[in-house]
Structure 1
Amino acid sequence: MSTFTLPKSKPEVPVNLTSDLNKNQLLSFPAFKTWINTLQHSLDTQKNKSHTFHSAPYKLRKIDIQAVDYFGGERIGFIKLKAEISNDKGEKLPGSVFLRGGSVGMMLILQPDDVPANTEDEKHVILTLQPRIPAGSLALAELPAGMLDDSGTFSGGAAKEIEEETGLKIPAEKLINMTELALPKSSSDDEEQLQQGVYPSAGGCDEFVPLFLWQNRIPREQMKEWQGKLTGLRDHGEKITLMLCPLGKLWRVGGRDAKVLAGWALYEGLRKEGRI
């Protein structure tokens, strides 16, 4: 184990590392950089006299790295840490954190092109069914999720399956960031600068998920063909199966997935306000 002082920390914050992680690796890990910058800014907002904690502000005292998971041998995937945060009265805040960084959720809506435009009639949403071992599931229904790569294109296992099984390529320029529309970014230093995404489990994980919308009208026969094709993929041993879910039933069919419920709520709220 080794210890270093977190740069630009006041009071100075010691960081205790595990034997398989060094200072440069931690400080260059995108999820850690985003988390620590966001936290430090939030702690700074306590200087405002109107802040709830102004009279007894909390401070970051120490960070203990507890475990690291690597992807492909060298790339950091996840970090488990404990942050000690307390005020001068000795009152502490829970500080166990699972760092994994942000991801992207996609609400992909298809509608037959023979129904009237600008209606909700016969809209269907593409869902994925795939193993999620942390949930103890081999077929959890979810909104497709992945990352936006360096070119701004939606990428990942779900995107690959969608393209392979339907031929649909999701163009970045056609994406509507529903989270950004619903949650405008704060412009004041006195306010917290949280990420523009939904936090599925903020009590223990830093993950934030911007939710994007993409809608397309396609021939009815093509939709029928895809519905039969996609729902039959499980027979071929696919790890990710796609399904078309009627929009009106989305909240029930995908009700165990936070991305589904958040996406559905954002879509309905923005639609009623006439913003999408």
Structure 2
Amino acid sequence: MSTFTLNSPSVPVTLPDGLSEETLLAFFPFNNWVRTLTRSLALQSRSSHPFNADPYELRRITVQAYDLFDAGRVGFLKMKADVSNKAGERLPGSIFLRGPSVAMLVILIPEDVEPGNESETDERHVILTVQARIPAGSLEFVELPAGMVDDDGTFAGTAAKEIKEELGLELQSSELICMSDLVVEEASIKGDEDLPNAMYPSVGGCDEFIPIYMHERRVPREQLKEWTGNLTGMRDHGEKITLKLVKMKDLWKEGKRDAKCLAALALWEGLKREGKL
């Protein structure tokens, strides 16, 4: 094991064998987590903050384990943060770092349905993916299409890339609507924590946040009929992904185990109700 000290804030970081300071500091999720937590801790100086009387500090970081992806870059990181106050009270600090992802709600409507027609509600369909998710113990997990964001990638660009790779639909980033941004398009309240406009699926132990995008497209009815019930198994993908087309009114049941799916549906319904979509 080895130890080095971060420059800002000045915090000792203990590393396991095989992980260098350079490799860790090249891991975007780690740097992003440090910046975000540092900003949040600074807000304790406000008299209205619940921790103002005895503020907490980040005192030490211990990296416990890591996985390397291609080219020797860190993919996943398990660590423990000592965040405590002068009274010796500690906040839970076991953390799994994996970085941001994006999720895509792709809606298909038959071309012969007029926009605004009452039947449009019943005619909307959504594409889901079915794939093995070993961490969940599943070989056929039904979920909204999603993908991890590379360190040098953009959220919209990654979303467009995943739609092309997983669904076979080629879209420009400009054709995607970020529903997460639409929810908070008004100016943030001054003094709020500067967190991303995104859904956090497991905030008790993981840094992952997921902006949710949508794209609505009209397709020939015959093509939609051909896809319905037959879309799964159409693709031969290295990740063993197949596709499933479901009616949007049944999305809450079909995607009941997927936080991304349920969050996307809630965002879409809320934005529709407020006239933002």
State whether TM-score is above 0.5.
yes
Who is 1:240 aligned against?
Answer: 241
Where do 1:194-209 residues align within 5 Å? Answer: 194-209=195-210
* Contact 1:158–1:240 (Cα < 8 Å) also in 2: no
Q: By how many angstroms is 1:231 displaced?
A: 2.7
Cα deviations by residue, 1:221-261 (Å, 9 ceiling, x for unpaired): 01112224313448999811101110001011101000000
Distance in 2 of aligned mates of 1:234 and 1:275: 34
Q: Secondary structure of the residue that 1:121 maps to in structure 2?
A: helix
Who is 1:229 aligned against?
Answer: 230
Q: By how many angstroms is 1:76 displaced?
A: 1.0
Distance in 2 of aligned mates of 1:125 and 1:90: 51
Q: Secondary structure of the residue that 1:67 maps to in structure 2?
A: strand
Q: Which runs of 5+ in 2 are unaligned?
A: none
Q: Secondary structure of the residue that 1:266 maps to in structure 2?
A: helix
Where do 1:170-189 residues align within 5 Å? Answer: 170-184=171-185, 187=188
Q: Specify the code of the residue in structure 2 equivalent to 1:88.
A: K
Instruction: Decide which moves more: 121-130 or 147-156.
Output: 147-156
Q: 1:41 aligned to 39, 61, 74, which one?
A: 39
Who is 1:138 aligned against?
Answer: 139
* Contact 1:145–1:156 (Cα < 8 Å) also in 2: no
Q: Secondary structure of the residue that 2:74 maps to in structure 1?
A: strand
From the superposition, tell whether residues 184 and 236 of structure 1 become closer, same or farther in structure 2 (CA, over 3 Å). Answer: closer
Q: Which runs of 5+ in 1 are unaligned?
A: none
Distance in 2 of aligned mates of 1:211 and 1:56: 37
Q: Secondary structure of the residue that 1:85 maps to in structure 2?
A: strand
**1:15 counterpart = 2:20:** no
**1:162 counterpart = 2:163:** no
Cα deviations by residue, 1:180-220 (Å, 9 ceiling, x for unpaired): 11134865662200112100000000000000010001110
Instruction: Decide which moves more: 118-127 or 225-234.
Output: 225-234
Q: 1:51 aligned to 42, 49, 66, which one?
A: 49
From the superposition, tell whether residues 209 and 231 of structure 1 become closer, same or farther in structure 2 (CA, over 3 Å). Answer: same
Distance in 1 of aligned mates of 2:236 and 2:164: 20
Distance in 1 of aligned mates of 2:258 and 2:28: 25
**1:210 counterpart = 2:211:** yes
Instruction: Decide which moves more: 14-23 or 225-234.
Output: 225-234
* Contact 2:231–2:244 (Cα < 8 Å) also in 1: yes
Distance in 1 of aligned mates of 2:132 and 2:161: 15
Where do 1:109-128 residues align within 5 Å? Answer: 109-118=107-116, 119-128=120-129
Cα deviations by residue, 1:73-97 (Å, 9 ceiling, x for unpaired): 5021001000000011111100000
Q: Specify the code of the residue in structure 1 equivalent to 2:7.
A: P
Aligned residues: 270
Q: Secondary structure of the residue that 1:120 maps to in structure 2?
A: helix
* Contact 1:124–1:246 (Cα < 8 Å) also in 2: yes
Distance in 1 of aligned mates of 2:100 and 2:188: 21
* Contact 2:105–2:215 (Cα < 8 Å) also in 1: yes
* Contact 1:186–1:193 (Cα < 8 Å) also in 2: no
Instruction: Decide which moves more: 25-34 or 145-154.
Output: 145-154
Instruction: Decide which moves more: 47-56 or 148-157.
Output: 148-157
Q: By how many angstroms is 1:51 displaced?
A: 0.5
Q: Structure 1 vs Structure 2: percent identity of aligned residues?
A: 51
Q: Secondary structure of the residue that 2:230 maps to in structure 1?
A: helix
Distance in 1 of aligned mates of 2:226 and 2:42: 56
Who is 2:100 aligned against?
Answer: 102
RMSD: 2.2
Distance in 1 of aligned mates of 2:186 and 2:11: 29
Q: By how many angstroms is 1:27 displaced?
A: 1.5
Q: Secondary structure of the residue that 2:268 maps to in structure 1?
A: helix
Distance in 2 of aligned mates of 1:38 and 1:185: 21
Distance in 2 of aligned mates of 1:30 and 1:255: 31
Q: By how many angstroms is 1:147 displaced?
A: 4.4
Instruction: Decide which moves more: 187-196 or 43-52.
Output: 187-196
Q: 1:30 aligned to 24, 28, 34, which one?
A: 28
